[in-house]
Amino acid sequence: MTDETRVGVIGCGFFAQNHLHAWSSLRGEGARIVAVCDIDPTKAKAAAASFEASRWYTDPERMLGEQNLGLVDIVTRMETHRALVELAVRHRTPTIVQKPIAPTLADARAMTAAAEAAGVFLAVHENFRFQTPMRKARELIAGGAIGEPTWARISFRTGYDIYSGQPYLREEERFIIIDLGAHVLDLARVFLGDVDRIAAETQSHNPGVKGEDTATMMLRHVSGAVSVVDCTYESRRLPDPFPETLIEIEGSKGAIAIRRGLHLELTSGDRVTGIDVDPPVLEWASRPWHVVQESVQATCAHMLEALRAGRPAETTAIDNLQTFALCEAAYEAAAAHRFVAMER
């Protein structure tokens, strides 16, 4: 690999703006956006102009064929992920794809198998575990501050108008478990490990959206730990914590709480310590999104470093299959009103 990683971005819509800023900021770490692509030429052209990409495309195949990319970052919606990942794999281009990895587990498995068979780097941009508060909690747990985690609550509850930026979410028939559950179920795996079984109840509060907008899930982990993972886009609390994930983790020697306002409270033995886990507002970021935006940059930085070092990323497609399998199992559990065992 040369000193510079030639990055191409596919999809220049709402969330891709964060990726484009992140890759630009990682120039010093060896990333250079050389080309961008969107089927909408106005968006591709605007992204190329704002982020100094020398070429813009409306055809991903043409971009991959012409640009000799060291990395392609796919930031389109999930329906397009499988075809784009398989295309990138055929071009043997290391690939990152946004969450949700795909609309179905069958697609996710096929994409992962294609990358494995070709020996191509494939990672999922699952960014919540890279948020500053989550990184701090992980560091404290790894250092033994709360002993062995035995119980957790992972909660994302908001009434923020997410549809203004992401109007397509109104049309998703399988909605919050795939859109947001993908993040919070991933955090449950990160903090408490592999899952043995899952139960779920869903609710649909907003008549203007097709799918479920609220989910309450309970997980029994292989370690014996239990977690409650809940998310809603229809909660009425002020001040609204969007887009913060609030967490409580209890262990054999203490507890961690991540509270609204990005404040972490650590109980370790008989000492309680408050830790500020509010990340800096990056120069291109803005509130209330800054904690997510900072995690996008941290995720891109991690993936770039892993790729350049010849290592897999933490959130390989194979790893993410387990998170996606939890989403699928949660839908099955909600439909049947019973626990669903996870394949192991």
Residues that bind ligand 89Y (CB under 6 A): 162, 166, 179-180, 183, 243
| Among ligand NAD, ligand 89Y, none, partner that 191 touches (CB below 5 to 8 angstroms by kind) | none
> In angstroms, what is the minimal distance from the CB of 179 to ligand 89Y?
5
Q: Which of 5, 24, 67, 98 binds ligand NAD (CB under 6 A)?
A: 98
Residues forming beta bridges with residue 57, ordered by sequence position? 37
Cβ proximity to ligand 89Y: between 15 and 191 the closer is 15
One symbol per residue from 120 to 149: x for binding ligand NAD (CB under 6 A), - otherwise; what is it?
-------x----------------------
Coil, strand or helix: which one is 279? coil
Q: How far apart are CA 209 and CA 172, in angstroms?
A: 8
Cβ proximity to ligand 89Y: between 166 and 322 the closer is 166
Cβ proximity to ligand 89Y: between 159 and 312 the closer is 159
Q: Given phi > 0 = left and psi -120 to 50 = alpha, else beta, which region is 255?
A: beta
Q: Which of residues 197-226 bind ligand NAD (CB under 6 A)?
A: none
Helices marked H in the chain — which ranges? 16-25, 41-50, 60-67, 81-90, 105-118, 132-142, 176-179, 181-192, 290-309, 317-336
Nearest Cα to Cα of residue 191 among 146, 143, 260, 141: 141
Which of these ranges, 33-41, 46-54, 141-149, 255-263, lies near ligand NAD under the rule CB under 6 A? Answer: 33-41
Strand blocks (E) in 182-277:
195-203, 214-221, 226-232, 246-251, 254-259, 263-268, 271-276
| Among ligand NAD, ligand 89Y, none, partner that 180 touches (CB below 5 to 8 angstroms by kind) | ligand 89Y
> In angstroms, what is the minimal distance from the CB of 125 to ligand NAD?
6
- Is 11 among the residues that bind ligand NAD (CB under 6 A)? yes
CB 53 within 8 A of CB 77: no
Q: Which of 292, 304, 326, 333 binds ligand NAD (CB under 6 A)?
A: 292
Q: How far apart are CA 185 and CA 175, in angstroms?
A: 14
CB 94 within 8 A of CB 68: no
Q: Which of residues 226-285 bind ligand NAD (CB under 6 A)?
A: none
Residue nearest to ligand 89Y (CB): 162
Q: Which of residues 150-179 bind ligand NAD (CB under 6 A)?
A: 166, 168
Cβ proximity to ligand 89Y: between 77 and 135 the closer is 77
One symbol per residue from 64 to 83: x for binding ligand NAD (CB under 6 A), - otherwise; what is it?
-----------xxxx-x---
Q: How far apart are CA 179 and CA 99, in angstroms?
A: 8
- Backbone phi, then psi, for 294, in 5-degree steps? -65, -35
Q: Which residues bind ligand NAD (CB under 6 A)?
A: 10-16, 37-40, 43, 60, 75-78, 80, 98-99, 127, 166, 168, 292
